[in-house]
Copies of this chain bind each other. A is one copy, B any other.
């Protein structure tokens, strides 16, 4: 097997083009939240299947076509660009991530993954390089789960882990008038015909580069994270019921204040997470009737529980359930009969362990680029489309550091050098995997 530097030496690399493309497309499709003096100092709000998402998709499809790719849109709106290889009878080696963002998203989360893949294909073309087998680049629909409340949506359908129909019917939570995934796919023209299924639309492997979204690589001064797995997480809807009463005339000990119970639950969830060295977070909360002088009767919030081990995540969830129940039953310290809190599981992403061959392609590629002491094996705190693909095909990921570990925030930032290192590691890993396949 040739070393990475041998491999890279055959390519015509264009330094800076990747970062230029990141900033050009972020500026055009959803730029929001200016935080610094430069034009590129904004975040991106590009919710799945929004007008901004349609904009970047249309641009992306044109780029793929201009590189000579075959373009396929699947039934849940994921975009596949297939760059031809020598033997096109075999499924492509894939690179993939997502172009959608959080409402307070940055310019890197997801975007870096897709555009680094694009930079790999551009490099192939500029270098007249023909891989042994086709290489695919995928923009997976709705990875974030911000607008349609399930993360890693389309890649889960592709992997057969979630039903197409359920996805079609999922309603948006960020629109004043909720709309379904199917309606929005139709509206923006991305309800494709390619089966959203790993058996009918085959891929041989999946590589994804992503910002770490946490502080570890930066703190330990590492350049590349070799991602060996992903922590498990579960999302819940939690509903708390109290009693609407007058804030001016109802004595404290005669109240059943759903919001006060809920406040105690949030504080308790945080304590439970601390105790188990896991994470509990509440990202959304709505209440009714929502009047200054009416005690809240009903609160709905979402709970995000994470741990590297499935068993510990389960333990955290069990403790939350029983502690929340205690709080709901005693809204004023004294106990009431009726249970007033309800849990509804939205989604569980079990702990993931990536494929050894893919991990080693990334490892060798990274070590040759930045040196053994600048890489680190790491577990991802966040879920990624690679979690879905890993259930069906060899998969692994590459992380680069991001400033202060900040993500899902307009100010998310990685340096041009960090981005470039990530793309080159991806290039090396994919070429290496392609060569492995033919050996």
Contact = CB atoms under 8 A, between A and B. Distances in A.
A244 B173 CA distance: 18
Oligomer copy total: 2
Contacts of A254: 215, 405
Interface in A354-392: 380-383
B304 A247 contact: yes
A103 B282 CA distance: 27
A8 B136 CA distance: 91
B282 A213 contact: no
Contacts of A283: 247, 290-296
Nearest to A283: B292
**Chain A: number of interface residues, binned into ranges:** 35 or more
A409 B383 CA distance: 43
A12 interface: no
A292 B249 CA distance: 35
B246 A408 contact: yes
Given A289-B102, A289-B103, A294-B104, A259 B248 contact: no
Interface stretch (A50-58, A184-192, A261-269, A337-345): A261-269
Contacts of A295: 281, 283, 408
Contacts of A249: 212-214, 380-382, 405, 407
Identify the interface centre among A244, A267, A381: most chain B CB within 10 Å of its CB: A244
A243 interface: yes
Nearest to A233: B248
Interface in A187-228: 212-215
B274 A266 contact: no
A285 B284 contact: no
A176 interface: yes
A219 to B, nearest CB: 10
A97 to B, nearest CB: 15
A274 B252 contact: yes
Contact of A291 (B146, B215, B231, B251): B146
A275 to B, nearest CB: 11
A243 B304 CA distance: 17
Contact of A213 (B104, B145, B246, B406): B246
A306 to B, nearest CB: 6
B246 A291 contact: no
B279 A284 contact: no
A235 interface: yes
Given A102-B291, A260-B282, A293-B382, 4 more contacts: A102-B294, A103-B294, A149-B292, A252-B274
15 contacts: A102-B289, A102-B291, A146-B294, A151-B293, A215-B254, A233-B248, A245-B409, A247-B279, A248-B279, A252-B273, A263-B263, A263-B266, A283-B292, A283-B294, A293-B304
Interface of A: 102-104, 144-146, 149, 151, 173-174, 176, 212-215, 231, 233, 235, 243-252, 254, 257, 259-260, 262-264, 266-267, 270, 273-274, 279, 281-285, 287-297, 302, 304, 306, 346, 380-383, 405-410
